[in-house]
């Protein structure tokens, strides 16, 4: 076990999750009996989640398990099954809008062509059985159940309004790739026993961290993002070969410092030992070598920077700019803090995205597993917020480290959203897509969707004895929202060389390919913005948006938006739902009781209703 991952930091999370998950474990046998009572032994559809909700699209996922079976962690073993989604503007008039291309246990359905501000109802099914929602402590992850039926739907959702103004470009926000890691979800090992049990990749399959990172890059490209930022823990422990692999994978998105940038996390810190001896010496500690610096900031470049992306300032922080074991607070050096102060003071009104590994807001710190000692040093966090308060252009701070989707705020900086993004490497496994319009922005979460990524993500849902989703998935407003901000001074990328970004406002333009401008350590370099050009993903059926492509459960649907929902503080309309987590027995028993009714619903001719989008 590495020094960074000591017992105090993670054991609290893992064992806290165990307490939260205990009702689920006790109900497993009753769940199987309930399904058997329904007659036959169809695959069991479960873990239904409304992942993404934009003004013109939605993404839902679910899993089908084999009744009477279990894997090494007590989960129903994977069972390939068909997938269907029924959708309508009335709960009594649903039409089939999605059919999976092939049976799979790992269902990923993207429905596009929806209307902004419209309330919809849906049911997802496999084998004719409605999928039961995942157990969750923050309301129902599937939407709001209606009709007095808590387990089979229809579930209600309302699409948000799009951001104001014309679409400009989009940026992928990700973190915690942990390239080189071989065991996920492990807090400690005592007397040879993993506590809680860790998850390793199945024999013969590629390393899971590489699977998830490659899926991230593939999805970022297919959704036509112009730029990508990775906020730390790029590697598991900064071993040179792992950093080289991370660089090769990320290079699949584009050119480093032109199309993507990275920041250091605590796992990327300086290390001692023979694997690191060929890297530059770190004068701050005896025997330490900084391989991350060599891999991404060669020469005398500092590990913090400012880039210009079509007029948007992207400010990258090194939040472990010190010597330590990785298990303590993040920290910025005095030199780095002086750079940030100068950079923001030079152009306080310039639209600015800041990213770094450790969370900043007090709300984030108090809701982690080790309040005040897990995130950015509290005094430095207050100083950073004071700088943001003097810089109206700062609108978003992207952070990782906690492996969860969570949106927080600070009374010191009412115009800034602090967005934690879940780990790329494990459940729920994905990224946030920031879409910039002239009058505001949208931010929403997407799970990665390759077959191997969906398989690994669903397996690692069982981390912390099945309680991991309670902490990591976030509620719908942690994952999807829209906010106002003045971006009228930004530029739309010039088309012609790369992979432009899309939005509900129409076709997205491509990136200029000119390269991101950079300024740091007084170097004063500047440039033309980053990104790749090409056709952008349009909204309302105009562009790619992930639609029309192959997903792990089939064709995703008509091309559409890759946007996101509601403004900070407003909440997602018509959501909420179940106030408590649902025991597994109750969820599956409820879905089993609906088996016969769902067969009738699927075969009956629905009454007339307004036309709704269909899979293309």
| Spatial contact of 194 and 183, defined as CB atoms under 8 Å apart | yes
Distance, in Å, from the CA atom of 412 to the CA atom of 387, rounded to the nearest integer, reads 10
pLDDT at 279 over 80: yes
The Cα 383–Cα 340 span in angstroms is 11
* Three-state SS annotation for 199-248: ECCCCCCCCHHHHHHHHHHHHHHHCCCCEEEEECCCECCCCHHHHHHHHH
Q: In which element (H, E) is residue 95 found?
A: strand 93-99
pLDDT number for residue 342: 98
**Proportion of the chain above pLDDT 70, given as a percent:** 71
Beta strands in 373-505 (DSSP E): 394-399, 406-408, 417-420, 430-437, 440-447, 480-484
**Cα 358–Cα 360–Cα 364 angle in degrees, nearest 5:** 95
Rounded to whole angstroms, the Cα distance separating 228 from 314 reads 11
State residue 135's pLDDT score: 81
Sequence-ordered list of residues with C-beta below 8 angstroms from that of 117, at least 6 positions apart, any chain = 55, 158, 159, 160, 161
The values of phi and psi at residue 172, to 5°, are -85, 130
Residue, of 37 and 430, whose pLDDT is higher: 430
**What is the pLDDT at residue 367?**
86
Angstrom CA distances, 548 to 80, 251, 536, stand at 22, 25, 14
Q: Give the whole-angstrom CA distance, residue 601 versus residue 318.
A: 55
Residue 542: CA count within 13 A, CB half-sphere: 19
Question: What are the distances in angstroms from CA 325 to CA 200, 269, 365?
Answer: 24, 8, 19
Structural domains in the chain, CATH included, are: 38-161+572-603 (2.60.40.380), 167-264+292-503+505-519 (3.60.21.10)
Question: What is the end-to-end Cα distance of the chain in Å, rounded?
Answer: 49
pLDDT tops 60 at residue 587: no
Rounded average pLDDT over 77-89 = 97
Q: Three-state DSSP class for 397?
A: strand
pLDDT tens by residue, 388-411: 999 999 999 999 999 999 999 999
Could you tell me if 337 and 302 are in contact, meaning their C-beta atoms sit under 8 angstroms apart?
Answer: no
Q: Would you list the DSSP string of 139-170?
A: S-TT-EE-TT-TTT--EEEEPPPPPSS-EEEE
Rounded Cα distance between 223 and 499, Å, is 9
Strand partners, 58: 53, 111
Dist. CA 478–CA 405, nearest whole Å = 6
Res 567: pLDDT: 30
Strands 227-231, 260-263: pairing is: parallel
For the stretch 438-478, pLDDT in tens is 999 999 999 999 999 999 999 999 999 888 999 999 988 99
DSSP state of 366: H
Report which of residues 75 and 534 the model is more confident about: 75
Binned at pLDDT 50, 70 and 90, residue 604 comes out as very low
Which tokens in the block code for residue 262?
A: 């990275």
Give the C-alpha distances (Å, rounded to integers) separating 287 from 147, 275, 297, 615. Answer: 66, 12, 20, 59
pLDDT at 372 over 70: no
Taking a C-beta distance cutoff of 8 angstroms, is the pair 51, 427 a contact?
no
**CA 122, CA 145: separation in Å to the nearest integer?**
10
* Residue-wise burial string across 406-425, b where 16 or more C-beta atoms lie within 10 A, e elsewhere: bbbbbeebebbbbbbbbbbb
Question: What is the C-alpha to C-alpha distance for residues 376 and 360, in angstroms, rounded to an integer?
Answer: 6
With bands split at pLDDT 50, 70 and 90, how would you rate the model's confidence at 120? very high
The Cα–Cα gap between 514 and 253 comes to 15
For residue 375, is pLDDT > 80?
yes
Tokens of 413: 């900086």
What CA–CA distances, in Å, run from 58 to 156, 259, 583?
A: 12, 27, 26
Mean pLDDT of 186-197: 82
What number of H helices and E strands is found in the chain? 13, 28
Beta-bridged to residue 189, according to DSSP, are 194
| Cβ–Cβ < 8 Å for 79, 46 | no
Determine the average pLDDT of the residues in 9-21. Answer: 39
Element spanning 107, H or E: strand 106-112
The candidate with the shortest Cα–Cα distance to 398, out of 224, 215, 229, 253, is 229
Residue 88 burial class via C-beta count within 10 angstroms: exposed 0-12, middle 13-18, buried 19 and up:
buried
| pLDDT tens string 248-276 | 999 999 999 999 999 999 999 999 999 99
Q: Is residue 59 pLDDT above 90, yes or no?
A: yes
Q: Which pLDDT score is estimated for 74? A: 84
Q: How far apart are CA 324 and CA 322, in angstroms?
A: 7
pLDDT band at 73 (very low <50, low <70, confident <90, very high): confident
Apex 183 CA angle, 357 and 209, nearest 5: 60
What is the spatial distance between Cα 313 and Cα 351, in angstroms, rounded to a whole number?
Answer: 6
Q: What are the pLDDT digits (tens) for 517-536? A: 333 333 333 333 333 333 33
| Residue 560 pLDDT exceeds 70 | no
What is the model's pLDDT at position 236? 97
pLDDT band at 138 (very low <50, low <70, confident <90, very high): low
Q: Which one has a higher pLDDT value, 347 or 557?
A: 347
Res 373 pLDDT > 80: no
Only one residue has tokens 């909420």, namely 576
pLDDT of the residue at 406: 96
pLDDT at residue 311 in the model: 97
Among the residues of 305-375, which ranges form H helices? 334-346, 362-366
Whole-structure pTM value: 0.79
According to the model, what pLDDT value does residue 357 have?
A: 98
């Amino acid at each position: 076990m590495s020094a960074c991952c000591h017992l105090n930091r993670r054991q609290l999370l893992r064992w806290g999750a165990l307490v939260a998950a205990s009702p689920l474990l006790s109900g497993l046998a009753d769940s199987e009996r309930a399904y058997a009572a329904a007659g036959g032994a169809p695959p069991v559809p479960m873990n239904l989640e409304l992942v993404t909700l934009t003004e013109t699209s939605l993404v839902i996922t679910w899993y089908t398990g084999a009744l009477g079976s279990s894997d090494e962690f007590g989960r129903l073993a994977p069972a390939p099954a068909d997938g269907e989604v029924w959708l309508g503007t009335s709960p009594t008039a649903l039409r089939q809008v999605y059919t999976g291309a092939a049976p799979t246990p790992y269902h990923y359905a993207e429905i596009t062509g929806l209307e902004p501000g419209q309330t919809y109802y849906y049911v997802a099914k496999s084998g004719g059985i409605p999928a039961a929602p995942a157990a969750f402590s923050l309301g129902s992850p599937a939407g709001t159940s209606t009709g007095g039926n808590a387990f089979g739907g229809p579930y209600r959702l309302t699409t948000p309004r799009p951001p104001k103004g014309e679409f400009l470009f989009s940026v992928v926000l990700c973190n915690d790739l942990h390239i080189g890691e071989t065991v996920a979800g492990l807090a400690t090992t005592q007397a040879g026993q993993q506590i809680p049990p860790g998850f390793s990749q199945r024999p013969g399959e590629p390393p899971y961290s590489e699977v998830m990172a490659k899926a991230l890059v593939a999805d970022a490209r297919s959704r036509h993002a112009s730029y990508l930022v990775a906020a730390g823990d790029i590697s598991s422990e900064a071993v040179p070969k792992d950093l080289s692999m991370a660089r090769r994978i990320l290079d699949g998105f584009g050119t480093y410092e032109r199309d993507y940038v990275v920041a250091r996390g605590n796992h990327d810190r300086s290390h001692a030992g023979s694997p690191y001896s060929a890297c530059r010496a770190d004068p701050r500690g005896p025997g330490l070598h900084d391989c991350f610096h060599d891999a991404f900031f060669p020469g005398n470049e500092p590990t913090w920077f400012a880039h210009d992306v079509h007029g948007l300032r992207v400010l990258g922080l090194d939040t472990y700019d010190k010597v330590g074991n990785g298990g303590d607070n993040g920290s910025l050096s005095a030199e780095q803090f002086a750079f940030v102060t100068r950079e923001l003071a030079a152009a306080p009104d310039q639209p600015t995205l800041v990213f770094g590994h450790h969370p900043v807001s007090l709300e984030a710190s108090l809701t982690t597993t080790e309040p005040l000692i897990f995130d950015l040093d509290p005094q430095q966090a207050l100083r950073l917020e004071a700088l943001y308060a003097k810089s109206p252009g700062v609108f978003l701070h992207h952070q990782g480290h906690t492996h969860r989707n969570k949106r927080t705020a600070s009374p010191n900086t009412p115009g800034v959203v602090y967005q934690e993004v879940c780990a790329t490497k494990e459940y729920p496994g994905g990224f946030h897509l920031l879409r910039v319009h002239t009058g505001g922005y949208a931010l929403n979460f997407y799970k990665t969707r390759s077959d191997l990524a969906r398989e690994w993500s669903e397996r690692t849902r069982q981390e912390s004895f099945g309680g991991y989703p309670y902490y990591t998935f976030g509620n719908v407003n942690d994952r999807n929202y829209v906010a106002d901000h003045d971006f009228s001074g930004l530029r739309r990328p010039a088309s012609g060389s790369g992979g432009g970004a899309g939005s509900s406002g129409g076709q997205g333009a491509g990136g200029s390919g000119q390269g991101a401008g950079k300024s740091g350590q007084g170097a004063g370099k500047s440039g033309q913005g980053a990104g790749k050009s090409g056709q952008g993903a349009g909204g309302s059926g105009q562009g790619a948006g992930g639609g029309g492509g192959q997903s792990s459960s089939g064709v995703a649907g008509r091309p559409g938006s890759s946007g996101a929902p509601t403004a900070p503080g407003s909440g997602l309309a018509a959501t909420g739902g179940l106030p408590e987590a649902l025991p597994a027995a109750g969820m599956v028993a409820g879905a089993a009781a609906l088996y016969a009714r769902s067969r009738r619903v699927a075969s009956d001719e629905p009454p007339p209703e307004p036309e709704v989008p269909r899979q293309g």
